[in-house]
């Protein structure tokens, strides 16, 4: 039956079919991208909308403006004087600084802790190592904010009630448990390196600082980025720890508070503007670290 068709016919038939399938894939991908990007585009458009209110009956605003962005930083009283941050209804700039400070501190402390713990559990052999690994696994299975009320009590006793420093402690004190990803990375560095250094008379301390850490730039970057991003996106702890102390909110909690029943219709577009400002840097950071993210999550699985 196929003898009647020349081979070039078959080839063009195959190519046509292939082209049709590829076109179908393009169409599916395009539709999916539209679905996925639509809310993001809507966010940006809403942040530039001049008309107030929660939503409009049309997609593109009638009035384009940057006022929503300006309003995040400056607010005027009835006389037209600029208000101090502490007098603003929503002191976004203050939240931004709070979050930045918390993020920097917890990034430094957490990264250090995570690298220390994962190095010890990955490359050093000691008696209670297995116990540590198992305990880490068990502790990790408690819901993260289950003991929030207890932690709050501890902070109260330490005199850190509603203080920013309490959040630094919360974000970084538990860092020792986040060792899995970087441990997976350390596991892949050949042990012969350590052996060679040991023969040359290096202590384990020197091996850690001078041999392993310089080789671990990707995982250091990954750890630092994730711990830096954490405070920008956490809502739970901030909302419980700061209660109504608005000046000590971070951006996530602050922006959420804008959508309260009383303020949502006045401040929805402002919320969008703030969300865009936060989302841009975080998106850039995430896109940078995506390859580390993949390597981290799949761990040693990709090795083979």
Partner 1 sequence: MDYLDYVQMTKGQRAAYKIKSFFTGIPGAIGNLFRIIAYYIKKFFVFVGTGIKNYAQRFAQGDIGTKLSFIIMGAGNVFHKQIGKGIIFLATEIAYFYFMAVFGMNYLSKLYSVGVQLDDAGTMADGVIGSQRAITTTNLLGVPTISNRDTLDNSNQVLLYSVLTMIITIAFFAVYIANTKSAFATQQTIKAGKKPIGFIAEMKTFLDERFHVTLLTLPVLLLMLFTVLPIIFTIFMAFTNYDKEHQPPGSLYRWVGFQNFADIFYSNPMKSETFGKILVWTLVWAVFATFTNYIFGIILALLINKKGIKAKGFWRTMFVVTAAVPQFVTLLLMRLLLGTNTGINGMLGTSFPFLDDFMWARVVVIIVNMWVGIPYTMLISSGLLMNIPEDLYESARIDGANAFQQFTKITFPYIFFVTTPYLITTFVGNINNFNVIFFLTGGGPSPSNYYQAGQTDLLVTWLYKLTVNSSDFNLASVIGILVFIICALGSLITFNMSKASKNEEEFS
Q: Which 101-120 positions form the footprint of partner 1 (CB under 8 A)?
A: 113, 116-117, 119-120
Closest CB to partner 1 among 44 and 93? 44
Site string for partner 1, 12-51 (x = CB under 8 A): ------x---x--xx-xx--xx-xxx-xx-xx--------
Q: Residue 54 or residue 82: which is nearer to partner 1 going by CB?
A: 54
Q: Least distance in Å: CB of 219 to partner 1? A: 16
Give the per-residue contact string, 133-172, with partner 1 (x = CB under 8 A; - = no): -----xx-xxxxxxxxxxx-xx--x-----------xx-x
Report, in Å, the least distance between residue 222 CB and partner 1.
14
CA distances from 201 to 118, 194, 198, 240 (A): 23, 11, 5, 52
Task: Give the tokens for residue 85.
Answer: 């941050």
Q: Which residues contact 111 (CB under 8 A, 6 or more apart)?
A: 175, 220, 223, 224, 227
Nearest to partner 1 of 101, 173 (CB atom): 173
Residues 76-105, mask of contacts with partner 1 (x by CB under 8 A): ------------------------------
Residue with Cβ nearer partner 1 (138 or 199):
138
Residue 118 CA to residue 134 CA, distance in Å, equals 14
Cβ closest to partner 1, residue 42 vs residue 76: 42
242-301: contacts with partner 1 (CB under 8 A): 252, 255-256, 259, 268, 271-272, 275, 278-279, 282-283, 285-287, 290, 293-295, 297-299, 301
Three-state DSSP at 188 gives: helix
Measure the CA–CA gap between 297 and 290, rounded to whole angstroms: 11
**Chain position carrying tokens 């892949």:** 188
Q: How many helices (H) and strands (E) does the chain have?
A: 14, 0
Q: Name the residue nearer to partner 1 (CB basis): 81 or 128.
A: 128
Nearest CA to 246 out of 131, 73, 101, 85 is that of: 85
**Candidate residues 10, 16, 54, 82; the one interacting with partner 1 per rule CB under 8 A:** 54
Task: CB nearer to partner 1: give 84 or 301.
Answer: 301
Kindly state the tokens that stand for 185: 């990375």
Backbone CA torsion sign across 22, 25, 31, 33? negative
CA atoms within 13 A of residue 74's CA, in its CB half-sphere: 7
Contacting residue, 12, 55, 210, 245, with partner 1 by CB under 8 A: 55
CB of 101 to partner 1, least distance (A): 18
Q: What is the largest CA-CA distance in the chain?
A: 91
Encoding tokens for residue 256?
Answer: 């959420």
């Amino acid at each position: 039956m196929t003898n009647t068709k020349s081979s070039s016919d078959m080839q063009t038939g195959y190519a046509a079919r292939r082209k049709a399938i590829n076109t179908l894939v393009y169409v599916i991908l395009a539709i999916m991208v539209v679905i996925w990007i639509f809310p993001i585009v809507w966010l940006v458009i809403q942040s530039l909308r001049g008309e107030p209110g929660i939503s409009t009956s049309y997609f593109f605003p009638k009035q384009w403006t940057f006022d929503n962005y300006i309003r995040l930083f400056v607010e005027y009283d009835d006389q037209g004087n600029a208000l101090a941050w502490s007098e603003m209804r929503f002191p976004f700039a203050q939240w931004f600084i709070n979050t930045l400070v918390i993020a920097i501190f917890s990034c430094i402390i957490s990264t250090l802790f995570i690298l220390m713990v994962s190095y010890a559990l990955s490359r050093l052999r000691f008696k209670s190592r297995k116990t540590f690994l198992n305990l880490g696994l068990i502790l990790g299975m408690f819901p993260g904010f289950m003991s929030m009320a207890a932690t709050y009590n501890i902070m109260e006793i330490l005199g850190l009630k509603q203080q920013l420093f309490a959040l630094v402690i919360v974000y970084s004190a538990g860092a020792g448990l986040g060792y899995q990803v970087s441990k997976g990375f350390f596991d892949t560095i050949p042990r012969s390196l350590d052996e060679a250094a040991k023969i040359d008379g290096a202590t384990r301390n020197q091996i850690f600082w001078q041999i392993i850490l310089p080789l671990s730039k990707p995982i250091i970057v990954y750890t630092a980025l994730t711990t830096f991003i954490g405070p920008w996106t956490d809502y739970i702890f901030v909302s419980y720890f700061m209660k109504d102390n608005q000046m000590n909110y971070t951006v996530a909690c602050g922006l959420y508070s804008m959508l309260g029943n009383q303020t949502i219709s006045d401040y929805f577009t402002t919320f969008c503007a703030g969300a865009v400002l936060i989302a841009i840097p975080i998106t850039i950071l995430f896109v940078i670290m995506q390859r580390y993210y993949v390597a981290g999550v799949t761990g040693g699985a990709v090795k083979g």
